[in-house]
Amino acid sequence: MTKRMKLILSALLTGTLGAGFWLVRSLGDEAPEGIAQIGPLPLQTPLKPIPRQTFTPTTRKGYWNPDVVGDFKLPATKSATFSGAGRNLHVQQDWSKLFRRGFSSIDKTRMAPEEYRSEWNPKPEGWTSRLKPSQRTLTIGQGYMAEAPFHINWARSSDRAAETWYIRPYGDQQFKNSVNWAMLELNGGCVNFGDCPPGKSLSTFSKIYFDIENEGVGNAGVRQDQANLYVFMVKALREWVSPYTEIGSIAPVPRNSYGYSRARDYNAEPDWLWNMPARQTPASRLHGMPNDIVGKSFADVVDFQMPGTYYVYPDFDYSIRHDADGDRHWLAGLLHEQEVNQKLSSRKRIAWQWLFNTQSSDFPNSEKAKNPAPPAVAEGMAVFLWFTGAYGVILWDDAIDLKPDQPTPSDPAGQGIGNDRNYACYEHYVHGLWRLFRHNADLFTGREKYLNDQTECSYDNGRTWFKYNANQLKTRNLPFVRAIVGGNQILVAATRPYARPDQTSRVMIRYTADGYRFYSTITLKGDEIYLGRATMPKVSTARKKA
């Protein structure tokens, strides 16, 4: 995935970055009219701060401590997959630890040998994995299809779409060189875990994530074949998975802004590959595309979309400005991807997150993936994503196993990965999950309301009130506030990104809908991640009549 981001970011810089420095109020950033407060402010209801856990972040290389917080679980309505680094540090002592630190599933690449069967990892007759189906996920990279035994070149080069086989005749000696067969051979997932249904092989992962990363096409003439293959790939896999298995892909998404939060994206149309219906072409007829996918788009066949972004070092740099329309900004980028994509598609959202900068030689200090997310960014990633109504997250890393306290550098290539990194950012991330879900899990029932850019705030002590999207907050250099409402409960997250440690910011929030009349003031110190909760007062009947 880092290679993908490297190529995309390079293309952005050479092709579109100049267009990013638009006037602040271009296109989607028309300044919302402030709503003037009529009469005196009502009595305020104080927010009760959500507790923080005191801990000393690790200074050891190649190590992180999951016990900076105690036990907690994710609500059943949410999903968090661990595809990060260092499960090996504690899995032998307590295999269930990550499931009690906010994660609901483990990617196949991070599973311990005791948890799955394979040709090189045999198990006795009658063995069953200790991992429940809900605790298992699988990521399918381009190598799965591009390499033996399938040799599907399209997986690495989308311009080969018109020569790719959907289904080859079974008598064909190269029948495995087809997308259909590559999907069929995934049905052995239940064999890995010892839970195949009687007389049948099906994949028993709870979620399958495609990470093919060939969505861009250089030859516009193969767009239709490209769309056809993406639809067919998901439909073909659906034949070989359990009824509860959900399927999605890192791409395409309705709109990928690659970590930017530009005003124009709020008026963007969905990407062509997301919405283009499958249609027969001369090439697709020749290569076995079935008619039953005609008229279906990728958006129709997946269970979830995956908008999200990896950061480059400027996103972590507190010494530079971040408030121009084309500037990178860690929180505006995170919220922007969700705000834009939830308006373009009703599919639930799962975001990939990485706690280090992705590699890109086009940005300062980003040529190696060596910079961890600063504490407030790491904690904020674990908090603010869920305030958008996102369904889930994958915490990903390019390292898998860690070996602490190795000499410097332990990585001879000097890439700054794995054992040479400090992983305290993981501890701040888990702390953010703990603060949110250990103390507020009861709010995430599926009936809660996410205010997103309809969160109403005042920056002048209640004289006027505004509802700003992520870009508007960024370009005005204002504190970010987002809220979730469940019944008479309101949960609020707030921060002033990139603020100095000695800087104090005040912002007011109100919620005056559904019969409630809630006003409160938040005081922020530096760039802290604030969480607070309150019981909202109802408007009295007499006041309503008046």
Q: Say how many domains are in the chain.
A: 1
pLDDT at residue 9 above 90?
no
Question: Which pLDDT belongs to residue 38?
Answer: 85
pTM, entire model: 0.93
**DSSP, res 459:** S
Residue 439 CB burial class (10 angstroms; 0-12, 13-18, ≥19): middle
Give CA angle at 260 (254, 266), nearest 5°: 50
pLDDT at residue 103 above 90?
yes
- Tell me the average pLDDT across 312-333: 97
The answer to whether the beta carbons of residues 451 and 492 sit under 8 Å apart is no
Q: Taking Cα atoms as reference points, which of 397, 372, 392 lies closest to residue 382?
A: 392
The answer to whether the beta carbons of residues 166 and 229 sit under 8 Å apart is yes
Identify whether 141 is part of a domain. yes
- Tell me the average pLDDT across 526-539: 97
Q: At what angle do helices 375-384 and 424-433 cross, to 10 degrees?
A: 30
If pLDDT is split at 50, 70 and 90, which confidence band does 74 have?
very high
Mean pLDDT of the chain: 92
Question: Which pLDDT belongs to residue 541?
Answer: 55
Identify whether 291 is part of a domain. yes
- For the beta carbon of residue 460, count every other beta carbon within 10 angstroms: 11
Listing from the earlier edge strand, what are the strands of the sheet with 35-36? 35-36, 464-467, 456-458, 504-511, 518-525
- Note down the domain range covering 173: 104-306
pLDDT digits (tens, 9 = 90+) for 353-368: 999 999 998 999 999 9
Question: Which pLDDT belongs to residue 20?
Answer: 30
Separation in Å, CA 271 to CA 230, 259, 360, 417 = 14, 16, 24, 33
Lowest-confidence pick of 210-219, 289-298, 481-490: 210-219
Q: Which residue has the higher pLDDT, 197 or 428?
A: 428
Question: Which pLDDT belongs to residue 477?
Answer: 97
- Tell me the average pLDDT across 291-311: 97
- Tell me the average pLDDT across 93-106: 97
Identify whether 189 is part of a domain. yes
If pLDDT is split at 50, 70 and 90, which confidence band does 414 have?
low
Identify whether 278 is part of a domain. yes
Question: Which pLDDT belongs to residue 425?
Answer: 98
Separation in Å, CA 81 to CA 26, 55, 66, 314, 517 = 38, 24, 15, 27, 38
Identify whether 233 is part of a domain. yes
If pLDDT is split at 50, 70 and 90, which confidence band does 33 have?
confident
The C-alpha atoms of residue 77 and residue 74 are separated, in whole angstroms, by: 8
Question: Which pLDDT belongs to residue 31?
Answer: 63
pLDDT digits (tens, 9 = 90+) for 220-247: 899 999 999 999 999 999 999 999 999 9
- Tell me the average pLDDT across 209-213: 97
Question: Which pLDDT belongs to residue 170?
Answer: 79
What are the backbone angles phi and psi of residue 12, rounded to the nearest 5°?
A: -60, -45
- Tell me the average pLDDT across 439-453: 97
Q: Taking Cα atoms as reference points, which of 510, 529, 528, 527 lies closest to residue 519?
A: 510
pLDDT digits (tens, 9 = 90+) for 244-289: 999 999 999 999 999 999 999 999 999 999 999 999 999 999 999 9
Identify whether 159 is part of a domain. yes
For 320, left (φ over 0), alpha (ψ -120 to 50), or beta?
A: beta
The answer to whether the beta carbons of residues 396 and 84 sit under 8 Å apart is yes
Lowest-confidence pick of 101-105, 168-172, 274-278: 168-172
Within 8 A by CB and 6+ apart from 8, the residues are 258
Identify whether 282 is part of a domain. yes
Identify whether 296 is part of a domain. yes
Question: Which pLDDT belongs to residue 376?
Answer: 98
Q: Taking Cα atoms as reference points, which of 434, 477, 438 lies closest to residue 331?
A: 477
